Amino acid sequence: MRVITRKRLREFAERYPDAAEPLGKWESVVREAGWTSLQDVRRVFPHADAAIVASENTVTVFNIGGNKYRLITAIHYNTQRIFVLRLLTHAAYSKDLWKDTL
């Protein structure tokens, strides 16, 4: 899959250096993936979850760094693209405010 945009991953890793390695591993796995559904994603990332946001779209949420961070993505299985929408600390994610902005 193609990751759009990797810049967000790098910027987050600069702000939270302990996220750099887990994000790098996540990206490596994703780039080699050919997922067609959430079930495919969960074979590799068992804790990936789907969530419906304010726009009524479905996003996929990944736990990063041992549940310390959340990576919120939009996966377009038909074009093999995964869009990085938000990267949040667990505390910010838990407030659920991010759902209202997507």
* pLDDT more than 70, % of the chain: 100
**pTM summary value:** 0.93
Q: Do β-strands 49-52 and 2-4 pair in parallel, antiparallel, or remain unpaired?
A: unpaired
Tens of pLDDT, residues 60-79: 999 999 889 999 999 999 99
Q: Which CATH number applies to 2-91?
A: 3.30.2310
* Cα–Cα distance list, 25 to 28, 55, 57, 67, 99 (Å): 5, 30, 27, 15, 26
Under 8 Å between Cβ of 71 and 87: yes
